[in-house]
């Protein structure tokens, strides 16, 4: 049974509405590409970034592109740029990972150091085991068929 692990990290500097970031590590390239396609804010990334790492970060309204403002800044504006805003946004990404790739959160940590809040969510995607011969026989006997 193979287990895939992904990590979602969130960092925010208290009192600075544009000093925050969310990163997602551990997805394969295909999953990362699909997340970029469904979440436009992940399309903007540095050229040096690995193709399997997703990053979205705060920026001033002057630097932000229209899609990023619509998708991300509205969340921060609605929540008054509080730390809850970054967690709300992270929850959207975690839910997308759960719905698309069947990841689930199995560990969380939170730290506050020198004016920075940091949250880490570790997710797992456990592949379904292949049915063995005895399980298949039990299923056939319950269903009443030999197919």
Per residue, the 3-state secondary structure of the chain, as one string, reads CCEEEEEEEEEEECCCCCCEEEEEECCCHHHHHHHHHHCHHHCCCCCCCCCCCEEEECCCCCCCCHHHHHHHHHHHHHCCCCHHHHHHHHHHHHHHHHHHHCCEEEEEEEEEECCEEEEEEEEEEECCCCCCHHHHHHHHHHHCCCC
pLDDT tens column, 11-63: 887 777 677 788 899 998 889 889 988 887 776 555 446 778 888 877 655 45
Q: What is the pLDDT of residue 66?
A: 52
Q: What pLDDT is recorded for position 54? A: 86
Between CA 15 and CA 24, with CA 19 as vertex, the angle to 5 degrees is 130
Region 67-71: mean pLDDT is: 56
Half-sphere exposure of 107 (CA within 13 A, CB side): 8
Give residue 141's pLDDT band: very low, low, confident or very high (50, 70, 90): very low
Given a contact cutoff of 8 angstroms between Cβ atoms, the answer to whether 64 and 73 are in contact is: yes
**Distances from the Cα of 74 to the Cαs of 23, 71, 80, in angstroms?**
19, 6, 10
Q: In the chain, what percentage of residues exceed pLDDT 90?
A: 16
User: What average pLDDT does range 128-140 have in this prediction?
Assistant: 45
Is the pLDDT higher at 116 or at 1? 116
Domain ranges, ordered by start, for the chain: 3-143
The better pLDDT of the pair 123, 63 is held by 123
**Which carries the bigger pLDDT value, residue 73 or residue 9?**
9
d(CA 30, CA 27): 8
Tell which wins on pLDDT, 14 or 128: 14
Q: For all residues of the chain together, what is the average pLDDT?
A: 73
pLDDT of residue 130: 42
Q: What span, in angstroms and rounded, lies between the C-alpha atoms of 17 and 6?
A: 27
Residue 115 clears pLDDT 60, i.e. is over it: yes
């Amino acid at each position: 049974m193979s287990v895939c692990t992904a990590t979602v990290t969130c960092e925010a500097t208290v009192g600075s509405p544009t000093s925050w970031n969310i990163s997602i590590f551990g997805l394969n390239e295909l999953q990362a590409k699909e997340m970029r396609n469904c979440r436009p804010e992940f399309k903007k990334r540095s050229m040096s970034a690995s193709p399997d790492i997703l990053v979205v970060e705060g920026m001033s309204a002057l630097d932000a592109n229209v899609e990023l403002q619509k998708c991300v800044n509205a969340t921060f504006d609605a929540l008054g740029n509080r730390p809850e805003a970054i967690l709300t946004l992270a929850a959207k990404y975690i839910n997308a990972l759960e719905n698309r790739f069947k990841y689930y959160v199995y560990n969380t940590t939170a730290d506050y150091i020198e004016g920075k809040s940091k949250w880490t969510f570790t997710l797992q995607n456990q592949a379904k085991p292949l049915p063995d011969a005895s399980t298949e026989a039990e299923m056939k006997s319950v269903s009443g068929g030999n197919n």
